[in-house]
Amino acid sequence: MPGVVGSRLSPRLTPALRALLREGAERAEAAGEVDREALTALRTSGLLATAVPTEHGGAGRDAAAVNALVEQIAAVSPSLAIIAFQHFAVSARIADWGTARQQARWLPRLADGTWLAASAWSESGAGAAKQNLSTTAERRTDGTWVLNGSKAFTTGAGVADLYLVLVRTARPDAAPAAGYGAPGQTFFLVGADNPGLVPELGLDLAGMRGSATGLVSLDGAVVADDDRLGPEGQAATVIASVRESGASLGAVSVGTAQAALDLAVAHAHDRGLMDLPAVRHRLVGLATRLEAARAVVERAGARTSADPGLTTLHSKLHATEAAEEICLDVARMLGSAGYRDGARIGRLLADARGVSLMGPTNDLCRELVAVSWTG
């Protein structure tokens, strides 16, 4: 793996790849779009094999390794970290729920970076819990399905080769229970080469500007039943298994907060402020908050708690809130030096805010935790 060192025990980005991704993040922020050079470097680094089983050409690593790698990528490029996280999530879902034929078809290409995967779940009006989908799939007499609708806030839109699309295949008999997803929903894997799938990059985001987050339209997209992932109408069960895996979006927040802390330490050194105990102690306070966030994300990935799914929810809540607080405190420390248009701390603060809005959103995480107390 040219882009990672120590891959057998604790994968880490090589200095060369880290520098390239950092440079790409600067270009992406200025352009407001994904940096193709950095994305290509990520795809050819060997890192995308992390969540793919070894029998399909992957590294066979667990959620702890995924979280650690995502954190490292986020420390230099939060936008690419989100793209990588989505790729790992789709890869893991195929490994967990795919048929042998599906795994042999898709996993090797996801492992070597030939294909990049993305999730297309959100849509306007569906709600944070994705219970009111208007995107539909109808089965034809020949067994194929026709997908119609539109997906919003799809990370990797236009650069992904494979989309995991959430659609409604039947109307539920009753109101959906509290949770994520609803009965009658199904997942399909749709290739970017499908003529009925059209990505649109019209979203001008405040943060995560290099994440290629946009819309995906499905206009008569025809897919085979073999493209269905998991049982028909049981997507909610697949969704529930995602958080049980321990892979946490909180890892993106931890990496983003680490980047902010590094800025603060560098600023203190450059301005000769490290001689002041008050400055040193303030930095230690930030570092302690960051370490606490990292610890809960690591615990989620290790799956050592009594309820790993709840721990994953807690990890996203705590890490995203800590990252926003750390970035805001660093912005205050930098003063006018961090208030310039294009200052990195401003970008990191916007990136940190964005993670809390990604699915499951922080408010939905709170509801899912609360529901666990009521049985």
Q: Alpha-carbon distance 213 to 82, whole Å? A: 10
Characterize the bridge pairing of strands 162-168 and 117-120.
parallel
Q: Are 214 and 150 in contact (CB under 8 A)?
A: no
Distance of CA 172 to the CA centre of its chain: 29
For the chain, 375 residues long, give each residue's pLDDT as a single digit of tens. Answer: 445 544 445 568 999 999 999 999 999 999 999 999 999 999 999 999 999 999 999 999 999 999 999 999 999 999 999 999 999 999 999 999 999 999 999 999 999 999 999 999 989 877 777 878 999 999 999 999 999 999 999 999 999 999 999 999 998 765 566 678 788 999 999 999 999 999 987 678 899 999 999 999 999 999 999 999 999 999 999 988 888 999 999 999 999 999 999 999 999 999 999 999 999 999 999 999 999 999 999 999 999 999 999 999 999 999 999 999 999 999 999 999 888 888 999 999 999 999 999 989 999 999 999 988 886
Contact 345, 330 (CB under 8 A): yes
| CA–CA dist 254, 73 (Å, integer) | 10
Q: Among all chains, which residue has been given the structure tokens 């997908």?
A: 147
CB 33 within 8 A of CB 214: no
Q: Please enumerate, as own/partner, the contacts of 19-22 that have beta carbons within 8 Å and a separation of 24 or more.
A: 21/73, 21/76, 21/77, 21/80, 22/76, 22/77
Predicted structure pTM score: 0.94
| CA atoms of 290 and 35, how far apart (whole Å) | 28
Closest of 67, 155, 148, 50 to residue 107, by C-alpha:
50
CA dihedral 340, 342, 343, 347 (to 10 degrees): 130
Residue whose tokens read 């980005």: 13
Residue 269 and residue 285: Cα distance in Å, rounded?
A: 17
> Would you say 68 and 50 are in contact if contact means Cβ atoms under 8 Å apart?
no
108 Cβ neighbours under 8 A, 6+ residues apart: 52, 56, 57
Cα separation values, 228 from 32, 78, 145, 149, 260, Å = 34, 31, 9, 17, 41
CA distances from residue 45 to 55, 116, 134 in whole angstroms, order as listed: 19, 13, 38
| Distance in angstroms (rounded) separating the CA atoms of residues 104 and 229 | 14
Q: Is 131:235 a contact under the CB 8 Å cutoff?
A: no
Q: Residue 8's pLDDT is what?
A: 46
Residues 6+ apart with CB under 8 A from 223: 137, 144, 145, 147, 188, 189, 190, 194
